[in-house]
Chain A
């Protein structure tokens, strides 16, 4: 049984990391579809836990996207020049894992439609990061299940670094498949 986010945050860090609900690649390949009817307002998505973050995590991402800003790998520069608490976890990485997170949840037949979030707090090496989501609203439009979510990434101290919202689309049980390429539902008058 997954722990609710608030309970997870009360655990010691060494315990916290044991509750990672991120599926393996193999589990994702054989993942069963979650349908609109399976979802309820207030329901939490599985929580993905990353870390404790290391310079290697940060450098790997910088290399992958060719972002050579020194605040992500040069501790001396980050601390002494930019007065940061350490080398910073990249906002673009957070953005990328959020997209993967939502795609994982709706796959194979759903669609991650849109997300909006802000970068509010700095995350540094040593932090444990919890990617989370919670259903805030659901409704049917054009035969598709629209699910609105509150999402974010907290560190081990409960500091919310990326508050946001997202909308995903789930198929109805026995309903039509979600179109690909995705066609957004028409707004109701």
Chain B
């Protein structure tokens, strides 16, 4: 499993459009076993950050495309700090 972080350029993103786009999502577990969208952060200023745990990057990118979102860049995450623990993911 790999943790992906995608930076997506979404011109004109507002809270309303952000909610609208994500309210339509029925599959956060894109593949029930292998691919899970973990978090979607609206950064304002045309940017959305999406975190996904998965195996194939292409599956994640396809999910983004279904939202009408094309990633500028997709990073692979190595280390995560959460609540006092450092996890190698």
Chain A positions near chain B (C-beta within 8 angstroms): 13, 76-77, 79-81, 83, 85-86, 121-122, 124, 126, 155, 157, 159
Least CB distance from A122 to B in Å reads 7
The closest CB in chain B to the CB of A123 belongs to B32
Q: Which of B7-15, B41-49, B60-68, B77-85 is the interface stretch?
A: B77-85
Do B83 and A126 have beta carbons less than 8 Å apart? no
Do B33 and A81 have beta carbons less than 8 Å apart? no
Interface presence of B21 (CB below 8 A): no
With A85-B36, A86-B36 known to touch, is A79 a contact of B29 (CB < 8 Å)? Answer: no
With A83-B1, A83-B53, A85-B53 known to touch, is A122 a contact of B32 (CB < 8 Å)? Answer: yes
Least CB distance from B50 to A in Å reads 15
A126–B26 alpha-carbon span in the complex (Å) = 11
CB-CB under 8 A from B89, the residues of chain A are 80, 83
A163–B1 alpha-carbon span in the complex (Å) = 27
CB-CB under 8 A from B38, the residues of chain A are 79
The closest CB in chain B to the CB of A83 belongs to B1
CB-CB under 8 A from A122, the residues of chain B are 32-33
CB-CB under 8 A from B36, the residues of chain A are 85-86
Do A121 and B33 have beta carbons less than 8 Å apart? yes
A111–B17 alpha-carbon span in the complex (Å) = 55
Count residues of chain B with CB under 8 A from any CB of chain A.
16
With A121-B32, A122-B33 known to touch, is A79 a contact of B26 (CB < 8 Å)? Answer: no
Do A124 and B29 have beta carbons less than 8 Å apart? yes
Chain B positions near chain A (C-beta within 8 angstroms): 1, 26-29, 32-33, 36, 38, 53, 80, 82-83, 85, 87, 89
The closest CB in chain A to the CB of B80 belongs to A80
A138–B34 alpha-carbon span in the complex (Å) = 40
Do A80 and B33 have beta carbons less than 8 Å apart? no
CB-CB under 8 A from B82, the residues of chain A are 76, 80
A81–B82 alpha-carbon span in the complex (Å) = 12
Least CB distance from A102 to B in Å reads 26
A85–B33 alpha-carbon span in the complex (Å) = 7
The closest CB in chain B to the CB of A126 belongs to B28
CB-CB under 8 A from B83, the residues of chain A are 76
CB-CB under 8 A from A86, the residues of chain B are 36
Least CB distance from A68 to B in Å reads 17
Known pairs A13-B26, A76-B85, A159-B32; list 17 more (Cβ under 8 Å). Answer: A76-B83, A79-B53, A80-B80, A80-B82, A80-B85, A81-B87, A83-B1, A83-B53, A83-B89, A85-B29, A85-B36, A121-B33, A122-B32, A122-B33, A126-B28, A155-B32, A157-B27
